[in-house]
Amino acid sequence: MTVDLRTRYLGLELKNPLVPSASPLSRSLDSARALEDAGAAALVMYSLFEEELREQMQQAAFLEQQEVGYSEAESFLPVHAEPGSGLDAYLEQLRRLKETLSIPVIASLNGVSLDGWVENGKLLAEAGADALELNAYYVAADPSISAGEIEQRYITLLSELRGVVSIPITVKLSPFFSALGHFVSQLESAGANGISLFNRFYQPDIDIDSLRVAPTLHLSHPGDNLLAMRWLGLLSGRVSLSMAATGGIHRAEDAIKMLLAGADITHLCSALLLHGPKRLREILNGISAWLEESPYDSLEQIKGVLSQHHAKDPADYERASYVRMLDSYKVNRTAWD
């Protein structure tokens, strides 16, 4: 017996809940095709970064202006090798992905300023994106800016964008909103069709040999997903927009938990980078196998069944379990003796 893995996300009918998230895998048509072949239901493209576009513009200006007036060299880098704008390249890749794949392609915008984003969003929609993901990657380091102001920035951005594009928009959020539930409902009112929980911030590290701060890239691990699961569980049934789980989904078990908590789909990234497209197939098979043995016939049925809304003890998702968990932790005696 085959189980029904179909799900609905951002108004899109997907054949299953596995959607590779923004990653370098969508930069190559080969790897994108491999993901589709492995069973991916949709694909989120790598992000179009605001600061990258800005840097590219500066670089373009630099390459145009590299002459120094020296008699033997009018330039130093080959001007003709200068690439077109990053935006053009992104739009081109989007078109190529759409041509190559039959699954929906979701374009991803990463930035915070309003400037240019609305226009870029429009171009992505025109280029054939099935949906837009707004990646709200912003570290609120400025002490003079309040939480309210930051939230308002996103709402404004979203409303403006909503005004010019008709395709679905989803917002990828960080976990650092003080009242996430409220914020999500505001996003919904402003026209968001979905949210994705949670964005991972790459943390700086300190190299104690060189005494420098250096960026690090750590891929996610299984188990990194519990924060997202909790919030999916809390929001499921309370908001009506689509929800995606992202971060730390490495095995079928991780994905199933998310769906049970209320996700419509689960994103995959680190697991694919580490293990290749076959991991997607394995997770998909795992979900099917679990579903076959479960009392449910279809994926739609399991979505949110263990959300707070449906939970036997709603407190499990909130503070009460905190004390219980702390108390239950067994001290490693050998380390303390």
Partner 1 sequence: MKRRMITLDGNEAAARIAFLCNEVIAIYPITPASPMGEHADAWSAQSQRNLWGSVPQIVEMQSEGGAAGAIHGALQSGALSTTFTASQGLLLMLPNMYKIAGELSPTVFHIAARSLAAQALSIFGDHSDVMAARTTGFGILFSNSVQEVMDMALIAQAATLQGRIPLLHVFDGFRTSHEIGKIEAVSDETVRAMIDDGLVAAHRARALNPEHPVIRGTSQNPDVYFQARESVNPFYQAMPAIVQQCMDRFAELTGRHYRLYDYYGVEDADRVLILMGSGAETAQETVDHLNAQGEKLGLLKVRLYRPFDAATLIAALPATVSAVAVLDRTKEPGGDGEPLYKDVLSALAQGVASGEAPCSTLPRVIGGRYGLSSKELTPGMVKAVFGELKRDRPKNGFTIGIHDDLSHTSLPWDETFRTDASHKAVSALFYGLGSDGTVSANKNSIKIIGECTDLHAQGYFVYDSKKSGAVTVSHLRFGPEPIRSTYLISDDEAHFVACHQSVFLERYDMLDKAEVGGVFLLNTTAPPDKAWDTLPRKMQQQIIDKGLKFFVIDAYRVADESGMGQRINTVMQTCFFAISDILPQGQAIDAIKQAVEKTYGKKGKQLVEMNFRAIDTSLANLHQVTVPAVADSAFERPSVVPENTPRFVQEVTAKIIAGRGDTLAVSQLPADGTWPTGTSQWEKRNLALEIPEWDEELCIHCGKCPFVCPHGVIRSKVFDPTLAKKAPETFKHVPVKGKEFPEGWHISYQVSPEDCTGCTLCVDICPAKDKQNPGRRALNMVPQPPVREQERCNWEFFLSLPEFDRRKLRPNVIKEAMVTQPLFEFSGACAGCGETPYLKLASQLFGDRMMVANATGCSSIYGGNLPTTPWAHNAEGRGPAWNNSLFEDNAEFGLGMRLAVDKQAELARELLQKLRAEIGEEQVEALLHAEQNSEPGIYDQRERVAELRKILKGIDKPEARQLETVADQLMKKSVWIIGGDGWAYDIGFGGLDHVLASSRNVNILVLDTEVYSNTGGQTSKATPRGAVAKFSAGGKPTAKKDLAMIAMSYENVYVAQVAYGAKDIQTLRAFLEAESWDGPSIIIAYSPCIAWGNDLAHNHEMQDLAVRSGHWPLLRYDPRRLELGENPLQLDSKAPSIGYRDFVANETRFNMLWRSHPESAEQFLHESQEEAQAHFHHYEQLAALSFQKSDTGEDKEK
Q: What residues numbered 204-243 form the site for partner 1, per CB under 8 A? A: 207, 209-210, 214-215
Interface pick for partner 1 out of 13, 37, 51, 88 (rule CB under 8 A): 88
Residue 62 or 201 with smaller CB distance to partner 1: 62
Does 60 bind partner 1 (CB under 8 A)? Our answer is: yes
**Smallest separation (angstroms) from partner 1 to the CB of 53:** 7
β-partners of residue 313 are none
Distance CA 103, CA 131 (A): 12
Does 63 bind partner 1 (CB under 8 A)? Our answer is: yes
Q: Which of 199, 145, 194, 112 is nearest to 184 (CA)?
A: 194
Does 56 bind partner 1 (CB under 8 A)? Our answer is: yes
Does 322 bind partner 1 (CB under 8 A)? Our answer is: no
Distance CA 8, CA 168 (A): 12
E strands present in the chain: 7-9, 12-14, 18-20, 43-49, 105-110, 131-135, 169-173, 194-197, 204-207, 212-215, 242-245, 265-268
Evaluate the CA torsion angle 271, 272, 277, 283 in order and state its sign.
Answer: positive
Cis, peptide link before residue 198, omega less than 30° from 0: yes
Residue 66 or 298 with smaller CB distance to partner 1: 66
**Smallest separation (angstroms) from partner 1 to the CB of 99:** 17
Does 59 bind partner 1 (CB under 8 A)? Our answer is: yes
Name the one range near partner 1 by CB under 8 A: 54-62, 246-254, 286-294, 305-313. Answer: 54-62
Residue 93 or 266 with smaller CB distance to partner 1: 93
**Smallest separation (angstroms) from partner 1 to the CB of 61:** 6
**Smallest separation (angstroms) from partner 1 to the CB of 110:** 16
β-partners of residue 214 are 205
Interface pick for partner 1 out of 74, 126, 253, 297 (rule CB under 8 A): 74
Does 73 bind partner 1 (CB under 8 A)? Our answer is: yes
Please give the DSSP secondary-structure letter assigned to residue 16.
Answer: S
Interface pick for partner 1 out of 11, 76, 126, 285 (rule CB under 8 A): 76
Does 273 bind partner 1 (CB under 8 A)? Our answer is: no
Please give the DSSP secondary-structure letter assigned to residue 222.
Answer: T
Distance CA 322, CA 307 (A): 18
**Smallest separation (angstroms) from partner 1 to the CB of 273:** 13
Burial of 321 (0-12, 13-18, 19+ CB in 10 A): middle
Interface pick for partner 1 out of 1, 2, 78, 166 (rule CB under 8 A): 78
Distance CA 124, CA 280 (A): 27
**Interface with partner 1 by CB under 8 A: which residues?**
24, 27-28, 53, 56-57, 59-86, 88-89, 116, 207, 209-210, 214-215
